[in-house]
Amino acid sequence: MKPRREFGNPYEVETPPGADGWETMYPSHMIFGQELRNRDEGKLWFFDQMHNPEPVYPFDLIMPESWLVSLNQYTTRVWNLPTALGIEQRIVNGYLYLSPNVIDDPEQMAVNQPIFQERARYYFENWDRIYDRWVQKATDCIGRLKEMHFEPLPEREPLETVLSAAGTTSSFQLLTAYSRLLENMHEMAYYHFELLNLAYGAYLTMLEFCKAQFPAITDDLVARMVAGIDVILYRPDAELRRLAQRAVELGVADAFGGDQSPDAVLESLSASAAGKEWIEDLEQVKDPWFYYSTGAGYCHANRPWIEDMRPPFAAISDYIARVQRGEDLRRPLEHLQAERERIANGYRALLSDEDAPVFDSLISLSRQVFPFVENHNFYVEHWHHTMFFGKVRELGAVLVAGGLLERDDDIFFLHRYEVYSLLYELQINWSLGPGVPTRGETTWRREIDRRRRLYDALAAWSPPPALGVPPERVTEPITVTLFGINNETVQRWLAAEGADGSDDRLEGLAASPGVAEGRARVVRSVEELDALVDGEILVCPLTAPSWSIVFARIAGAVSDGGGIMSHAAIVSREYGLPAVVATGAGTKLLRTGDLIRVDGDAGTVDIVERAGPRPAGGTPVEVGA
């Protein structure tokens, strides 16, 4: 195996069979174009597996596009970061690739420095006050989103329009409401990054200081020193534990036995007074704590618990079994707190008298800003974004009622500005009056069918972790902290590109300590989780934090992507599971049934025993499913 110097050329990526014309689903600025070929093929483009492991649905592109705008504006126009320009995006065969840009002209850096320092200092020095305001702004934004409703256009304009002399009609209000929906999303995207870059900057500085002092310190240990103990990101899971405990106390635990659907469980609960009491308790906490998604939050397919009760009910059922075995499910907050202090004090004691105060100052600021990093994830990705996608689905139902779409989910095959065209067309049709035939009833459905076939063809493709030519060193701070891409990652990917699967070791980032041995279960989507057997090791493109049903049953986790501060890594530590992330090609090189050993301290995955002979065609075969 010989490590290579560059990745595949982004302009020479083959289109998967059946996916010709996939580019038509996306705006041209997202596609590699010949105008920029000389420049673009010489840059590093890495696959954003952490946030978008699947091909991006055209509507869902609002997520990357809105973060591109808000994140980059904070970098380039608000903070004026001296070293970085904006991160670019391109779509390749449906998958999102990103490329950082740096400022390397010393003069430009010098111009930006005082501007940046004045502005960023203001935020750091007023952090607590600004964070309090942030929570208000985010909650207010979510509140306005919650009040938005999309209903099918009425048969006739209500009498109220006349009596109030409103002047405009339901179809006009539908279009303006849609604009407000998009604005609401863009507004939240700004809040997402208002504090995040600075918070990660604090963490990065802390991390680098620790690594300079203790070259062998793992990212995981630094994270454990600064991580918040009682943060709201853990609240949804805490509610499930509490509800399980309550079901046992009320004597209604039996309702959760077997493989019943949530509806069946609720029906049997509602037959008794105690069961009704439990349901009432559930209703109390559902909003907001069940706005919690089964994914990174950037895809509409990641439905929140409040819309799909199967994941939380499965977790409750598992927790009930643990309560009945006599386990105490409450998180040992005091123990976690003591452990955090023990690690920090242990490292501090090894520092010189000169370095210890620097460490104190950095850890104290990191702990001040870090609750934001953890909590924003609940406010933004879970609470707001899952609710947003729910509203879009309501809008899809409006288009179904108007005869333009077949199913409410079809709306996600359209870019948000195409949806505006569609809504305008709906308005035209509605204006003509009942019974007038229109073209849109067939053209849009045909287009959706075409896109669905393209999407399925793209979903079968395995995107390489990166394309183009890596820079000598990856230094851009947002790429390093937020996306977890650094020199080591790039080297590992280059090595994996040359690998043929004959190696019996994969290397990744040590994300959560411990060692586990077990059979691999390769899972590429939430649907495939059903096949998982207790005690197996989850091997997936991305360890999604809220696959909580799974975390209670697996022995360890391995993911292709993810950084040490990815949601995945944080939650693996929370569950005490050994985890190795950012292996690059775990789902490609490991097969279900392989006996593997995950070393969450060393960041390695060893293949102890292959499940069976490697198929001649090179296509992974599922064994022992």
Partner 1 sequence: MSQLHVAAPASKAVPLVQATVDCYPEQVAEVGGKAVGLGRLLRAGQPVPASFTVTAAAYRQFVAGGADEVPAAVIEAIAEGYAELCERRRATIPVAVRSSASVEDSDEASCAGQFKTFLGARGVAQVVGEIRACWLSAFDPHVDAYRAERSGAAGDAQVAVVVQELVDARAAGVMFTQHPRSGDRSLVVIEASYGLGEAVVGGEVVPDLFEINKITRQVVKRSMGQKSHEYRLHTDGDQVERREVDAARASRWAIDDGHVAALAEMAAELESALGPGLDTEWALGSVAGSADEASLFALQVRPITTDPRARLGPPGTTAAAAAARPPAAASAVDLILGRLSGPGPALP
In sequence order, what DSSP letters do the residues of 536-558 get, joined into one string? Answer: PEEEESS--TT-HHHHTT-SEEE
Under the binding rule (CB under 8 A), the answer on residue 222 touching partner 1 is no
Specify the DSSP class assigned to residue 504.
Answer: S
Q: Which of 445, 578, 583 is nearest to 511 (CA)?
A: 578
By beta-carbon proximity to partner 1, the closer residue of 316 and 569 is 569
Among 218, 245, 375, 429, binds partner 1 (CB under 8 A): 218
Going by their DSSP bridges, the two strands 579-581 and 595-599 should be labelled as unpaired
Among 53, 297, 468, 477, binds partner 1 (CB under 8 A): 477
Give the residue ranges of DSSP H helices in 436-476. Answer: 440-459
By beta-carbon proximity to partner 1, the closer residue of 194 and 381 is 194
Q: How far is the CB of 343 from partner 1 (least distance, A)?
A: 6
Burial status of residue 496 (CB atoms within 10 A of its CB: 0-12, 13-18, 19 or more): buried
Under the binding rule (CB under 8 A), the answer on residue 487 touching partner 1 is yes
Under the binding rule (CB under 8 A), the answer on residue 117 touching partner 1 is yes
Under the binding rule (CB under 8 A), the answer on residue 365 touching partner 1 is yes
CA distance 93 to 581: 24
By beta-carbon proximity to partner 1, the closer residue of 164 and 352 is 352
Going by their DSSP bridges, the two strands 556-559 and 537-540 should be labelled as parallel
By beta-carbon proximity to partner 1, the closer residue of 306 and 373 is 373
Q: Which of 550, 553, 547, 582 is nearest to 566 (CA)?
A: 582
Under the binding rule (CB under 8 A), the answer on residue 215 touching partner 1 is yes
By beta-carbon proximity to partner 1, the closer residue of 15 and 368 is 368
The amino acid at residue 219 is D
Q: How far is the CB of 347 from partner 1 (least distance, A)?
A: 6
Q: How far is the CB of 565 from partner 1 (least distance, A)?
A: 12
Under the binding rule (CB under 8 A), the answer on residue 7 touching partner 1 is no
Q: What spatial distance separates the first Cα and last Cα of the chain, rounded to whole Å?
A: 31
Q: How far is the CB of 350 from partner 1 (least distance, A)?
A: 4
Cα angle 225, 230, 236; round to 5:
125
Going by their DSSP bridges, the two strands 515-522 and 537-540 should be labelled as parallel
Site for partner 1 in 155-214 (CB under 8 A): 198, 201-202, 204-205, 207-209, 211-214
Under the binding rule (CB under 8 A), the answer on residue 216 touching partner 1 is yes
Under the binding rule (CB under 8 A), the answer on residue 46 touching partner 1 is no
**Size of interface with partner 1, in residues (CB under 8 A):** 57
Q: How far is the CB of 66 from partner 1 (least distance, A)?
A: 24
Under the binding rule (CB under 8 A), the answer on residue 128 touching partner 1 is no
Burial status of residue 357 (CB atoms within 10 A of its CB: 0-12, 13-18, 19 or more): exposed
By beta-carbon proximity to partner 1, the closer residue of 126 and 261 is 126
Among 68, 71, 78, 81, binds partner 1 (CB under 8 A): 81
Site for partner 1 in 415-474 (CB under 8 A): 473-474
Longest CA–CA span in the chain (Å) reads 84
Q: How far is the CB of 526 from partner 1 (least distance, A)?
A: 32
Under the binding rule (CB under 8 A), the answer on residue 354 touching partner 1 is yes
Under the binding rule (CB under 8 A), the answer on residue 602 touching partner 1 is yes
Among 34, 352, 502, 619, binds partner 1 (CB under 8 A): 352
Question: How far, rounded to the nearest angstrom, does the alpha carbon of residue 315 sit from its chain's CA centroid?
Answer: 20
By beta-carbon proximity to partner 1, the closer residue of 120 and 321 is 120
By beta-carbon proximity to partner 1, the closer residue of 103 and 153 is 103
Q: Starting from the edge strand earliest in sequence, which strands make up the sheet with 604-609, in order? A: 505-507, 604-609, 595-599, 515-522, 537-540, 556-559, 579-581, 509-512
Q: How far is the CB of 260 from partner 1 (least distance, A)?
A: 42
CA distance 202 to 367: 9
Burial status of residue 15 (CB atoms within 10 A of its CB: 0-12, 13-18, 19 or more): middle
Residue whose pair of structure tokens reads 């709906």 in the numeric block: 426
Residues that bind partner 1 (CB under 8 A): 81-83, 102, 104, 109, 113, 116-117, 120-121, 124-125, 198, 201-202, 204-205, 207-209, 211-218, 221, 342-343, 346-347, 350-355, 358, 361-362, 364-366, 473-475, 477, 480, 486-488, 513, 601-602
